[in-house]
């Protein structure tokens, strides 16, 4: 019956068709061989050129940057005080704006938390509720139904994309961690995306027994090699109606997928994306990992939920993201050329009228606890923020019409404001000279009252940062980090260093992905659960199994969508053209810190 319906929807000129039985892996390997180039090209250009940073003229941008730098240099030589005053004025304006936004987001989230988890008069049942330090399960709309009372007649297939690059030693831990997820395995579809030229990772995966719900998809080589390109390529091979993204080092909670499915079931179609909480294990490793953990806690437990409650754009984190597949495909997936594809996608979702909600489920990651790798990672995030802002500001009027004045203002503060703060941090630091009675370019220009106001602004900014940090780590897991929050004042200058690297690379290497190495600071894990995977495991034996995808291209795209279990069927249509195989299987965070 399915074959007849599919055949009726195929083009009349495709030729005679007969149904044949074949192993699913063989069918899909044949499709990949026939349409690999087309699929790869589609992965690079899914997002329309007008919305992608690939259409930004890098050469012209470089010339403009050099011209601006030259003009500033000449102006500084001719009128140093005037130029310094201009830079200081912009830095102060953005500091006021970002501090105000941070305080507003924090107050919105803290006020909601206080109402939902009152500090006094709590019953035994209240104390059994989730830790109030994270986003509450009801999300921005607390009037939603009780999750326990929601009945889901038919659980959907959930596909999770896991991009891997040079991860030859993380495969065993990845398999263990994802194996702990308690969602029905026949409805759980994990795709490990491995670059064609990454022979070490492919060989490492081939040495391990992969469970039947996990498969390797080889991403063909191309002119760029980025995470969003791999995600776009893998999207065509997903079975699920919900698409998730994990990173290689992620350790999600066991019940995470159930929470995601339940929330999507509760909410209307306007909620197109769910963002989980990201946290770090081994926060005690060193000072850098402690500060990074505090920063993440403030971002995911205070800032992002607060932004959602204020009705502002939510820039997505790069992992523990879940989308309605129909919306993701409507938007064209990820911008393959953007090195912070998550923040860009969050902005594109908002421009199309969709909402993102935070979900009370935690995924632990490996902290980047070494200085130079930290700077490289942060510079990539900041470069992506620059590119995202520039891409969406090509037509400011249209962006304003899409978002409205309030959200447009929020985007300017979040992107341009935070980046300006990082780049111009040395200008603000220079005011410390006044505190020690040392010469300063503006000492003779600013009246005493203005200097006092500046001191008050700096104290207020630091107080807000410390308050948000202490509030974010107040939960039992990170309470020990509270005493380290004031040391963020020494941590923030690292972001300024990274911002200058980001500016340079935005001009010289805009699409270069500075890879973060994983597996260096890892959590010691017991072997529990390893044996569970061997029961239903299958070892990939050749390239066919690696390239296998779960649904036949033209036929599956012709079949009606279903929210139930997919897979297992081996009856497919054979013959005719393979055109349309590209549609097969349809189914920052950047750290924002005050200088």
Using the predicted structure, report yes or no on whether residue 456 has a pLDDT greater than 60: yes
| Across 509-526, average pLDDT | 63
Greater confidence (383 vs 517) lies with: 383
| Residue 1 pLDDT grade (very low, low, confident, very high; cuts 50, 70, 90) | low
Structure tokens at 178: 């994802």
| Residue 517 pLDDT grade (very low, low, confident, very high; cuts 50, 70, 90) | low
Q: Which of 139, 82, 85, 84 is nearest to 116 (CA)?
A: 139
pLDDT of residue 512: 78
Q: Which of 268, 360, 345 is nearest to 314 (CA)?
A: 345
Residue-wise pLDDT for 70-104, tens only, equals 888 888 788 888 889 999 999 999 999 999 999 99
Using the predicted structure, report yes or no on whether residue 118 has a pLDDT greater than 70: no
Using the predicted structure, report yes or no on whether residue 257 has a pLDDT greater than 60: yes
pLDDT of residue 292: 94
pLDDT of residue 129: 42
Mapped to the 3 state alphabet, what secondary structure does 2-46 carry? HHHHHHHHCCHHHCCCEEEECCHHHHHHHHHHHHHHHHHHHHHHC
Mapped to the 3 state alphabet, what secondary structure does 389-428 carry? HHHHCCCHHHHHHHHCHHHHHHHHHHHHHHHHHHHCHHHH
User: pTM value?
Assistant: 0.80
Among positive and negative, which fits the CA dihedral 325, 328, 332, 335?
negative
What beta strand segments (E) does 123-168 contain? 158-164
Residue-wise pLDDT for 442-452, tens only, equals 888 888 888 88
| Residue 32 pLDDT grade (very low, low, confident, very high; cuts 50, 70, 90) | confident
| Residue 492 pLDDT grade (very low, low, confident, very high; cuts 50, 70, 90) | very high
Helix (H, G, I), strand (E, B) or coil at 177: helix
Q: What would the DSSP string read from start to end of 268-299?
A: -TTEEEEEEEEEES-TTS-HHHHHHHHHHHHI
C-beta separation of 301 from 472 below 8 A: yes
Residue that has been written with the tokens 């993701």 in this structure: 328
Among positive and negative, which fits the CA dihedral 185, 186, 187, 191?
positive
Using the predicted structure, report yes or no on whether residue 468 has a pLDDT greater than 70: yes
- Please give the share of the chain, as a percent, with pLDDT higher than 90: 55
pLDDT of residue 565: 35
φ, ψ of residue 216 in degrees (nearest 5): -100, 130
| Residue 520 pLDDT grade (very low, low, confident, very high; cuts 50, 70, 90) | low
Buried b (16+ CB within 10 A) or exposed e, 185-197: eebbbbbbbbbee
- Please give the share of the chain, as a percent, with pLDDT higher than 70: 79
Using the predicted structure, report yes or no on whether residue 164 has a pLDDT greater than 80: yes
pLDDT of residue 119: 59
Q: How many CA atoms lie within 13 A of 473 on its CB side?
A: 24
Greater confidence (426 vs 593) lies with: 426
Looking at the DSSP assignment, which residues form a beta bridge with residue 324?
Answer: 242
Give the Cα separation of 323 and 506 in Å (integer): 29
| Residue 209 pLDDT grade (very low, low, confident, very high; cuts 50, 70, 90) | confident
| Residue 219 parent element (H or E) | strand 214-219
| Residue 26 pLDDT grade (very low, low, confident, very high; cuts 50, 70, 90) | confident
C-beta separation of 374 from 414 below 8 A: no
Q: Which of 284, 305, 303 is nearest to 293 (CA)?
A: 284
Greater confidence (290 vs 529) lies with: 290
Within the chain, what is the greatest distance between any pair of CA atoms? 88
Mapped to the 3 state alphabet, what secondary structure does 76-112 carry? HHHCHHHHHHHHHHHHHHHHHHHHHHHHHHHHHHHHH
pLDDT of residue 594: 37
| Residue 585 parent element (H or E) | none
Residue-wise pLDDT for 552-570, tens only, equals 333 333 333 333 333 333 3
Q: Which of 324, 121, 187, 239 is nearest to 557 (CA)?
A: 239
Buried b (16+ CB within 10 A) or exposed e, 422-461: bbbbebbebbeebeeeeebbbeeebeeeebeebeebbebb
φ, ψ of residue 134 in degrees (nearest 5): -110, 170
Using the predicted structure, report yes or no on whether residue 366 has a pLDDT greater than 80: yes
Using the predicted structure, report yes or no on whether residue 465 has a pLDDT greater than 90: yes
The dihedral formed by the CA atoms of 116, 261, 313 and 353, expressed in degrees to the nearest 10: -120
pLDDT of residue 105: 97
Strand pairing class (251-252; 214-219): unpaired
Using the predicted structure, report yes or no on whether residue 595 has a pLDDT greater than 70: no
Give the Cα separation of 356 and 270 in Å (integer): 9
Give the Cα separation of 159 and 190 in Å (integer): 6
Residue-wise pLDDT for 331-349, tens only, equals 999 999 999 999 999 999 9
Within its chain, how far is the Cα of 52 from the centroid? 17
Q: Is 498 exposed, middle or buried (0-12, 13-18, 19+ CB in 10 A)?
A: buried
Task: State in Å, rounded, how far the first CA of the chain is from the last one.
Answer: 64
Residue that has been written with the tokens 């081939």 in this structure: 206
pLDDT of residue 76: 77
Q: Which of 593, 585, 563, 475 is nearest to 237 (CA)?
A: 585
Looking at the DSSP assignment, which residues form a beta bridge with residue 271?
Answer: 355
What separation in angstroms does the CA of 305 have from each of 94, 130, 146, 328, 343? 22, 16, 20, 22, 15
**Mean pLDDT of the chain, nearest integer:** 81
| Across 478-486, average pLDDT | 94
pLDDT of residue 127: 36
Strand pairing class (188-195; 214-219): parallel
Least trusted range by pLDDT, from 356-360, 364-368, 383-387, 484-488? 364-368
The most confident of the ranges 10-24, 160-174, 300-314, 542-556 is: 300-314
Domain 2-583 maps to which CATH number in 3.90.1150.10, 3.40.50.1000, 3.90.550.10, 3.60.10.10? 3.90.550.10
Using the predicted structure, report yes or no on whether residue 367 has a pLDDT greater than 50: yes
pLDDT of residue 117: 64
pLDDT of residue 7: 80
């Amino acid at each position: 019956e399915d074959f007849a319906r599919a055949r009726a929807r195929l083009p009349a000129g495709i030729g005679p068709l007969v149904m044949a039985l074949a192993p699913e892996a063989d069918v899909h390997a044949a499709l990949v061989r026939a349409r690999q180039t087309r699929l790869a090209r589609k992965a690079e250009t899914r997002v329309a050129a007008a919305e992608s940073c690939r259409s930004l003229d890098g050469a012209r941008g470089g010339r403009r940057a050099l011209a601006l730098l030259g003009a500033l240099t000449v102006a500084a030589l001719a009128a140093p005080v005037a130029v310094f005053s201009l830079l200081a004025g912009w830095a102060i304006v953005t500091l006021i704006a970002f501090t105000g936004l941070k305080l507003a987001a924090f107050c919105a989230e803290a006020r909601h938390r206080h109402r939902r988890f009152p500090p006094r008069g709590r019953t035994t049942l209240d104390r059994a509720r989730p830790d109030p330090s994270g986003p509450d399960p009801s999300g921005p709309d607390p009037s939603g139904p009780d999750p326990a009372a929601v009945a889901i007649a038919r659980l959907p297939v959930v596909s999770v994309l896991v991009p891997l690059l040079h991860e030859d030693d993380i495969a065993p831990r990845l398999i263990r961690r994802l194996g702990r997820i308690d969602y029905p395995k026949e409805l759980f579809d994990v795709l490990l995306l491995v670059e064609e030229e990454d022979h070490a990772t492919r060989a490492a995966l081939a040495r391990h027994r992969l469970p039947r719900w996990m498969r390797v998809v080889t991403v063909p080589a191309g002119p760029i090699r980025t995470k969003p390109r791999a995600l776009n390529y893998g999207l065509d091979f997903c079975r699920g109606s919900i698409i998730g993204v994990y990173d290689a080092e992620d350790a999600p909670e066991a019940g995470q997928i159930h929470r995601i499915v339940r929330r999507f079931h509760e909410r209307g179609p306007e909620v197109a994306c769910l963002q989980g909480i990201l946290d770090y294990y081994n926060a005690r490793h060193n000072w850098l990992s402690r500060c990074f953990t505090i920063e993440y806690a403030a971002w995911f437990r205070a800032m992002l939920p607060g932004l959602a409650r204020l009705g502002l754009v939510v820039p997505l984190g790069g992992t523990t993201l879940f989308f309605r597949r129909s919306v993701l495909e409507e938007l064209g997936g990820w911008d393959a050329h953007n090195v912070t594809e998550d923040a860009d996608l969050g902005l594109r979702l908002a421009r199309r009228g969709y909402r993102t909600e935070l979900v009370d489920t935690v995924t632990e990651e490996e902290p980047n606890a070494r200085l130079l790798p930290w700077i490289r990672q942060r510079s990539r995030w900041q470069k992506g923020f620059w590119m995202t802002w520039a891409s969406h500001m090509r037509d400011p009027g249209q962006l304003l019409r899409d978002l409205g004045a309030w959200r447009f203002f929020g985007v300017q503060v979040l992107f341009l404001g935070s980046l300006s703060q990082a780049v111009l941090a040395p200008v603000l630091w220079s005011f410390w000279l006044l505190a020690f009675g040392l010469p300063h370019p503006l000492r003779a220009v600013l009246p005493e009252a203005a200097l006092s106001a500046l001191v008050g602004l700096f104290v207020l900014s630091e107080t807000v940062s410390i308050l948000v940090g202490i509030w974010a780590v107040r939960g039992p897991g990170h309470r020990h980090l509270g005493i380290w929050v004031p040391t963020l004042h020494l941590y923030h200058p690292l972001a300024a260093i990274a911002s200058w690297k980001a500016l340079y690379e935005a001009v010289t290497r805009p699409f270069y992905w500075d890879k973060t190495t994983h597996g260096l600071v890892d959590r010691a894990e017991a072997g529990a659960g390893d044996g569970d995977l061997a029961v239903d495991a299958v070892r990939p034996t050749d390239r066919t199994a690696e390239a296998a995808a779960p649904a036949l291209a033209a036929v599956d795209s012709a079949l009606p969508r279903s929210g139930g279990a997919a897979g297992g069927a081996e009856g497919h249509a054979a013959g005719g053209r393979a055109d349309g195989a590209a549609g097969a299987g349809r189914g920052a965070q950047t750290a924002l810190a005050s200088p």
